[in-house]
Amino acid sequence: MKIITWNTQWFKGLDEVVDVSRIVSDARDMADFDVLCLQEVASHYPSLTLETDPDQPAKLQSLLPGFQVFFGAAIDELSPCGTYRQRFGNLIATRLPALQVQHIPLPYPNPVMETPGLSMPRMVTVCTVKAPWGPVRIMTTHLEYYSQAIRHEQARALRALHRQFNELALRPPRAELQGPYQAKPYTTDAILCGDFNFESDSPEYASTVEPGSHPWIHTWDCLHPGKSYPATFRLYDRTYGPEPVACDFFFVSESLSHRVTRVAVNQDTKVSDHQPVLLELSD
């Protein structure tokens, strides 16, 4: 099972060209992926997409025959002129059967608790797929950038959601044979990925991997304990800081850690301001 996560910056490369097909092409060059998790996907924001493929989820669906595409909009609003809908958020494309899809808002406490500045709501897209060994819950997200306090609340919420889903798997609610109360594919096998906007020495990272009930495990540590994780941001564009950093990660549940066989960062591509990360799991 091969999964790629990538903050696409609405598919804008470092050459300022917006092109959905380049992201798909570079992802395919990286691996024959089963699941593609993308962040910063836009629909009908002409200031971002420059009128090129304005409905990016629809464009992705056309480029990925055989895949199901699920777009989770953290922002869903009318345009300033009030004549069309604009959406911005995360997306999961999968060629594995999708058993359940959920879009869950993350905490958004008062963004002026620190220095007033830019901020927007965030969410996590959850898609439970049928892997060769059974259901796997895939969660992709993009956390707050400007406020550390908000970002930490969101990291804690992701840990709490993981705990909640695991407890449902261990003690599933009563179900009916059909209808909305039918049995759900709750599972303790889970993957969390995306652009977290925190680094491995941050309090937010510590809260994510903190030992205890239902921890998340950084996949890199499964294979390369004690070794530095490759940078995924600011390799070529230093707009947001002077040095390259790592903030795009794959975490897995304890139940999946033994299946991690490869974690790789493509540090060559320049079709986004972030670098894609590949995770491979054994059957």
This prediction's pTM: 0.96
Q: Which backbone phi and psi does 18 adopt, to 5 degrees?
A: -95, 115
Residue listed under structure tokens 């652009």? 195
52 vs 210 pLDDT, higher one:
210
Cite the beta strand spans of 65-122 per DSSP E. 68-78, 85-94, 98-105
Domain residue ranges in the chain: 2-172+181-281
Q: So what's the pLDDT on residue 116?
A: 62
| pLDDT tier for residue 231 given thresholds of 50, 70 and 90 | very high
- 51, with CB counted inside 10 A (0-12, 13-18, 19+), is exposed
Q: So what's the pLDDT on residue 172?
A: 93
pLDDT tens for residues 159-199? 999 999 999 999 999 999 999 999 999 999 999 999 999 99
Is residue 91 a contact partner of residue 34, using CB atoms and an 8 Å limit? no
Burial 122-136 (b: 16+ CB within 10 A, else e): bbbbbbbbebeeebb
Residue count (the chain): 283
DSSP code at position 267: -
Tokens describing residue 61: 């669906």
**pLDDT over threshold 80, residue 112:** no
Residue 266 neighbours by CB under 8 Å, 6+ apart: 26, 30, 275, 276, 277, 278
Mean pLDDT across 194-220: 96
Q: So what's the pLDDT on residue 118?
A: 83
Percent of the chain scored above 70 by pLDDT? 98
**3.40.50.1110, 3.40.50.300, 3.60.10.10, 3.40.50.11540: CATH of 2-172+181-281:** 3.60.10.10
DSSP code at position 141: E
Residue 212 neighbours by CB under 8 Å, 6+ apart: none
Question: How many Å apart are CA 249 and CA 199, to the nearest integer?
Answer: 9
Mean pLDDT across 216-237: 97
Half-sphere exposure in the Cβ direction for 74 (13 Å, CA): 25
**pLDDT over threshold 70, residue 4:** yes
Fill in the amino acid letter for 118.
Answer: L
